[in-house]
């Protein structure tokens, strides 16, 4: 047994450290609020946990450390009920967690802050917190905004509880996740890498709150790669390596080097590679002159070949926006040249110039999660592995194997999907792709964020090797020690300006911190201008802005047509338009419900036709109105249930499932009536066409139904959970929402909304014929797209559906009044839909204020969308 292994098995005897009071012989034993016994978990090709035991006591902060892939996050997913173990027992607050159920774990008193926040991007901050802590604790959705704001204000991060989570910065999202967990007043609090995106001030606020939680008798599990933080905050430390516990220690009895050695299984000889010697006569590879945007101003600097330059400063002072502008990911003006050649706008042009960007948010921008490790590694260099346009798989796999070995990426094989890897190994995949690209300029934003100590050494070596190979390297990091050990020069940014350059012996942790904290550069006017515009920008990006745009278009088109042909405003035409729009309102609402839950329904049109044909056997002379309506109701419920089960239970693609239903229903109604037949009761048709003045009653009913759905979407648990599932299904599941049930219900409700549309269609055609219904599938999709609903789910408005349905029906109605051919009845809706979709993309992409022109000429620089 080696010295390291022997030390790893020592369990310190002074077990009362961190307890509220000294333990004496007469005291009862300290309570284990979280007890994990014999936890084993295996994934395909990987044994993540092997017989793991962990006990966390009341009144202690228990740190869990280890490399990426050691099993820390998996263990906490088991503890929180998000993942079922293959073997073992989870006990929370003295009660066994019988099954993998996050809601049950939360009820027992456990709260978790995940490394990947379980937030729903299309919901507001208040709605996210209400879902996360439970509606009763908030006091109902009506009180959620005030309650959530009260939880967030102490953090002083400028978070508005009414804001959509997708609009928050990474730092703000983590604060929301932390505030949500603390609001539960948990007995057991799990913090999984909570400080990776926080500034020093925010970290100290978090530590103060954690100590308060512990002083009240709770237990805290603290997971972090930052060993100094672990030593500062924890009472005991448990080390995991390769899915096994390597020892539990009192924090005061082990130093940083001992912890790292046990975590990685070897001694860490040197953290930072030796810096290269830069010849002053070496030409500048990257040259930036007068670069400006709304986040930074008049930035000029140069980086030589073989040099690593750091960007530092207090978070939020323009560093991130600057590095993204250099990569062509954000709008900017000024000049950027690589090897003396100006770089055109856009990320594609930046890539052609040899600029390679390593983003901070690897999950959203760094990796292609459904693809394999090999495919991710070769994504930027496919021409090098292709012949005649055909990718050589052997070449891709061979390159991936070499880099997996060289960078110590823990993956069962190159074919493994990258989403199954730990965060640190995903980051290594991103860097492997970077190595293959042979960059002239390498831009790395927080390259070691969420990465263990051993992987950090590998990443530092990769960055230095890239510089030694001739690249100009720019590193943005919030870790001053990292910048000191890695960089040749460091640029300090404050309020959007480069306020100081450190070089040589000046590059030190102390000097970097001093320069960042003592800057007096001001930016008040810029910040004030942005705040003044925020309300207008937020409204344009909201769900209700399309309704206003569509209503304006409806009125404008009506005025133009009426000016050309006064008969357009006749009572007959208005009544006809309003009656025809009733079906569109119902089918638009049906499609909207499904799409909000990230589904799709292609069967709406044929389903209407099937119900009309079904009714034609009973709602006729000699039949029975109530039996006919009852059969239509049963038919609608069956269609919705089958669609919902195929999608939610069997996992069939919504498009495939509803396309199959589309064809099946067409076959059914043609089987029942190959030719039209069965004249509908005239009295029933008259009743359906009843009106108040010139307004059809059925249209009034449809509008009222959609308004009620809008209220339910915003104010009820059903509406929040539907948008939550559509926004991010996996996060919804981790929060304990019944994702399958919500999706099933959305298809059933869609069929019920399609039923009154079929009744109106029945009155319009007056006979059992399913063929006229087929076009309503396309019409329902047109209405939803015009309404600005996200086709990926999570966001939309039934008020906008009302406006979209009226506009679509008006467009279909105006061709004869303008003397246009029937072809325009197809062209006009297509043109309007395309224009609306483009407009919404611009609106939701953000209404950006163009930066003021500087005295420097505006050249083609990285900035716009390529």
| For range 844-852, the mean pLDDT | 44
Nearest to 813 by CA among 805, 821, 801, 825: 825
pLDDT value at 863 more than 60: no
Q: In the predicted model, is pLDDT for residue 526 greater than 50?
A: no
Q: Per residue in 119-163, pLDDT tens? A: 999 999 999 999 988 888 888 888 999 999 999 998 888 899 999
For residue 817, what pLDDT band results from cuts at 50, 70 and 90? confident
Strand partners for 679:
767
Please state the rounded mean pLDDT for residues 281-306. 89
Task: Report whether pLDDT(543) > 70.
Answer: yes
Question: Does the pLDDT of residue 68 top 80, yes or no?
Answer: no
Question: DSSP strand E in 107-150: where?
Answer: 110-113
pLDDT in tens, 184-194: 889 999 998 88
Same domain assignment for residues 672 and 776? yes
The reported pLDDT for the residue numbered 302 is 93
Mean pLDDT of the chain: 83
Q: Is residue 150 part of a domain?
A: no
pLDDT for the residue numbered 629: 92
In a domain, 834, yes or no: no
**Extended beta strands in 305-353, E state:** 308-312, 333-338, 341-342
CA 96, CA 99: separation in Å to the nearest integer? Answer: 9
Residue with token string 């831009």: 443
Upper half-sphere CA count for residue 71 (Cβ side, 13 Å) = 28
Asked if 725 and 635 sit in the same domain, the reply is yes
CA distance 302 to 505: 19
Q: Does residue 741 share a domain with residue 687?
A: yes
Using 50, 70 and 90 to split pLDDT, how confident is the model at 844? Answer: low
Q: Which of 74-83, 350-359, 624-633, 700-709 ranks highest by mean pLDDT?
A: 700-709
Instruction: Judge whether 320 lies within some domain.
Output: yes
On whether both 288 and 344 belong to a single domain, the answer is yes
- Decide: 840 and 546 in contact? Cβ < 8 Å: yes
Q: Lowest-confidence range among 39-53, 264-278, 397-411?
A: 264-278
Do the domain assignments include residue 139? no
% of the chain beyond a pLDDT of 90: 36
On the question of pLDDT at 21 being above 60, the answer is: no
Q: Is the pLDDT of residue 851 over 80?
A: no
In a domain, 125, yes or no: no
> Is the confidence at residue 293, as pLDDT, over 90?
no
Q: Which residue in 865, 866, 862 sits closest to 356, CA to CA?
A: 862
Higher pLDDT, 55 or 814: 55
99 and 38 together in one domain: yes
- Evaluate if residue 335 carries a pLDDT over 60: yes
Q: How far out from the chain centre does Cα 413 lie?
A: 28
- My answer on whether 514 and 597 are in the same domain is no
Instruction: Please report which residue ranges of 353-479 form alpha helices under DSSP H.
Output: 373-377, 393-406, 423-437, 453-468
Inside any domain, residue 165: no
Residue 777 pLDDT > 90:
yes
Q: Answer yes or no: are the C-beta atoms of 713 and 141 closer than 8 Å.
A: no
Confidence at residue 591, expressed as pLDDT on a 0 to 100 scale: 96
Q: What is the per-residue pLDDT for 4?
A: 38
The pLDDT of residue 49 is: 92
Q: What are the DSSP calls for 647-692, one per residue? A: HHTS---HHHHHHHHHHHHHHHHHHH-SS-EEEPPHHHHHHHT-EE
- pLDDT on residue 847: 40
Contact call for residues 567 and 820 (beta carbons, < 8 A): no
Domain count, the chain: 3
- 374, part of any domain: no
Do residues 30 and 57 make contact, with C-beta atoms less than 8 angstroms apart? Answer: yes
Domain edge (last residue) among 239, 264, 289:
264
pLDDT at 50: 92
CA distance 801 to 554: 13
Provide the domain limits for residue 694. 541-819
Specify whether 334 is located in the same domain as 231: no
pLDDT tier for residue 314 given thresholds of 50, 70 and 90: low
> Mean pLDDT throughout 394-420?
84
CA distances from residue 53 to 47, 59, 91, 240 in whole angstroms, order as listed? 16, 19, 11, 11
558: domain CATH number is 1.10.3470
Are 523 and 545 found together in one domain? Answer: no
Does one domain contain both 9 and 86?
A: yes
- Is the pLDDT confidence value at 27 over 50? no
Does residue 10 sit in the same domain as residue 84?
Answer: yes
What's the rounded Cα separation, in Å, for the pair 54 and 678? Answer: 72
- Summarised one tens digit per residue, pLDDT across range 192-228 is 888 877 777 788 888 988 998 899 899 999 988 778 8
Name residue, tokens 């076959």: 667
pLDDT tens for 737-747 read 899 999 999 99
Q: How would you classify the pairing of strands 284-292 and 333-338?
A: antiparallel
Q: Given 238, 264, 290, which residue is the final one in a domain?
A: 264
pLDDT at position 316: 66
Q: Is residue 703 part of a domain?
A: yes
Read off the pLDDT of residues 646-656 as tens digits, 9 standing for 90 and up: 999 999 999 99
Determine if the pTM surpasses 0.95. no
Check whether residue 465 and residue 597 sit in a common domain.
Answer: no
Say what the pLDDT of residue 19 is.
Answer: 35
Sign of CA dihedral 25, 27, 29, 32: negative
| CATH number of residue 245's parent domain | 3.40.50.300
**Are the beta carbons of 4 and 259 closer than 8 angstroms?**
no
User: What is residue 198's three-state secondary structure?
Assistant: coil
Percent of the chain with pLDDT over 70: 89
Q: Do the Cβ atoms of 350 and 328 come closer than 8 Å?
A: yes
The residue-averaged pLDDT of 685-690 equals: 88
514, burial (CB in 10 Å: exposed 0-12, middle 13-18, buried 19+): middle
Residue 862: pLDDT above 60?
no
Do 682 and 810 belong together in one domain? yes
How many Å apart are CA 419 and CA 397, to the nearest integer?
A: 18
Cβ atoms within 10 Å, residue 634: 12
Per the model's pLDDT, the better-predicted residue between 407 and 175 turns out to be: 175
Distance from C-alpha of 83 to C-alpha of 91, rounded to nearest angstrom: 14
């Amino acid at each position: 047994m080696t010295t390291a292994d022997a030390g790893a098995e020592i369990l310190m005897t002074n077990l009362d450290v961190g307890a509220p009071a000294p333990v004496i012989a007469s005291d009862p034993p300290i309570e284990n609020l979280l007890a994990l016994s014999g936890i084993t978990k295996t994934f395909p090709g990987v044994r993540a946990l092997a017989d793991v035991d962990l006990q966390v006591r009341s009144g202690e902060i228990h740190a869990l450390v280890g490399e990426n892939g050691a099993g820390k996050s998996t263990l906490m997913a088991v503890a929180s009920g998000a993942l079922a173990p293959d073997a073992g027992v989870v006990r929370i607050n003295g009660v066994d967690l019988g099954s993998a159920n996050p809601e049950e774990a939360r009820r027992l008193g456990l709260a978790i802050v995940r490394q990947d926040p379980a937030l729903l991007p299309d919901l507001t901050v208040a709605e996210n917190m209400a879902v996360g802590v439970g509606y009763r604790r908030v006091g109902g959705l009506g009180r959620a905004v005030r309650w959530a704001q009260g939880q967030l204000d102490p953090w002083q991060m400028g978070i508005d509880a009414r804001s959509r989570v997708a609009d928050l910065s990474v730092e703000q999202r983590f604060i929301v996740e932390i505030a949500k967990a603390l609001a539960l007043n948990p007995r057991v609090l799990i913090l999984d890498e909570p400080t990776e995106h926080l500034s020093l001030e925010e970290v100290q606020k978090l530590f103060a709150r954690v100590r308060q939680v512990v002083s009240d008798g709770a237990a805290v599990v603290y997971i972090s790669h930052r060993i100094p933080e672990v030593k500062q905050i924890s009472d005991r430390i448990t080390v995991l390596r390769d899915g096994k516990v390597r020892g539990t220690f009192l924090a005061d009895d082990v130093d940083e080097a001992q912890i790292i050695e046990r975590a990685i299984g070897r001694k860490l000889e040197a953290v930072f590679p030796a810096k290269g010697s830069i010849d002053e006569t070496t030409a500048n590879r990257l040259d930036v002159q007068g670069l400006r945007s709304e986040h930074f101003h008049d930035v000029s600097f140069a980086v030589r070949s073989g040099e690593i330059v750091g960007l530092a400063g207090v978070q939020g002072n323009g560093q991130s926006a600057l590095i993204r502008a250099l990569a062509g990911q954000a709008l900017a003006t000024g000049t950027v040249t690589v090897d003396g050649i100006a770089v055109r706008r856009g990320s594609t042009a930046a890539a052609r110039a040899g600029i390679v960007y390593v983003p901070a948010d690897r999950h959203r921008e760094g990796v292609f999660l459904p693809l394999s490790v090999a495919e991710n590694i070769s994504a930027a260099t496919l021409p090098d592995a292709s012949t005649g346009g055909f990718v050589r798989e052997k070449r891709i796999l061979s390159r991936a194997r070499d880099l997996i070995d060289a960078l110590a990426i823990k993956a069962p094989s190159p074919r493994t999907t990258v989403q199954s890897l730990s965060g640190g190994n995903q980051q290594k995949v991103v860097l492997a792709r970077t190595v293959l690209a042979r960059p002239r300029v390498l831009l790395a934003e927080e390259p070691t964020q969420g990465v263990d100590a051993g992987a950090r050494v590998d990443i530092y070596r990769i960055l230095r090797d890239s510089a030694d190979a001739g690249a100009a390297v720019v590193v943005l990091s919030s870790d001053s020690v990292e910048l000191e050990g890695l960089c040749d020069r460091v640029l300090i940014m404050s309020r959007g300006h480069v306020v100081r350059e450190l070089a040589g012996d000046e590059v030190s942790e102390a000097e970097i911190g001093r320069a960042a904290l003592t800057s007096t550069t001001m930016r008040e006017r810029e910040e004030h201008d942005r705040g003044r515009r925020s309300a207008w920008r937020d409204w344009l990006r909201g769900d209700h802005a399309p309704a206003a745009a569509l209503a304006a278009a409806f009125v404008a088109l009506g005025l133009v047509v009426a000016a050309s042909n006064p008969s357009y405003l006749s009572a007959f035409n208005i009544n006809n338009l309003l009656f025809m729009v009733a079906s569109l309102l119902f089918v638009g609402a049906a499609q909207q419900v499904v799409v909000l839950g990230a589904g799709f329904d292609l069967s709406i049109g044929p389903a209407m036709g099937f119900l009309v044909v079904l009714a034609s056997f009973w709602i006729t002379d000699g039949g029975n109105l109530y039996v006919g309506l009852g059969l239509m109701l049963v038919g609608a419920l069956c269609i919705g249930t089958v669609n919902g089960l195929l999608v939610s239970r069997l996992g069939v693609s919504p498009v495939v499932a509803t396309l199959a239903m589309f064809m099946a229903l067409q076959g059914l109604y043609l089987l029942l009536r190959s030719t039209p037949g069965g004249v509908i009761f005239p009295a029933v048709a008259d009743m359906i066409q009843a009106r108040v003045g010139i307004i059809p009653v059925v249209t009034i009913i449809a509008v009222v139904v959609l308004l009620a759905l809008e209220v339910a979407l915003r104010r009820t648990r059903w509406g929040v959970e539907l948008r939550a599932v559509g926004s991010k299904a996996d996060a919804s599941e981790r929060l304990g929402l019944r994702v399958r049930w919500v999706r099933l219900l959305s298809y059933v409700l869609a069929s019920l909304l399609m039923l009154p549309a079929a009744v109106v269609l029945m009155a319009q055609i007056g006979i059992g014929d399913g063929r006229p219904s087929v076009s309503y599938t396309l019409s329902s999709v047109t209405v939803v797209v015009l309404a600005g609903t996200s086709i990926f789910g999570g966001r939309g408005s039934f008020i906008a559906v009302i406006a979209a349905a009226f506009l679509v029906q008006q467009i279909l109605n105006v061709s004869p009044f303008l003397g246009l051919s029937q072809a325009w009845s197809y062209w006009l809706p297509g043109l309007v839909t395309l224009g609306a979709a483009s407009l919404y993309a611009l609106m939701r992409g953000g209404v950006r204020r163009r930066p003021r022109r500087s005295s420097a000429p505006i050249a083609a620089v990285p900035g716009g969308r390529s």
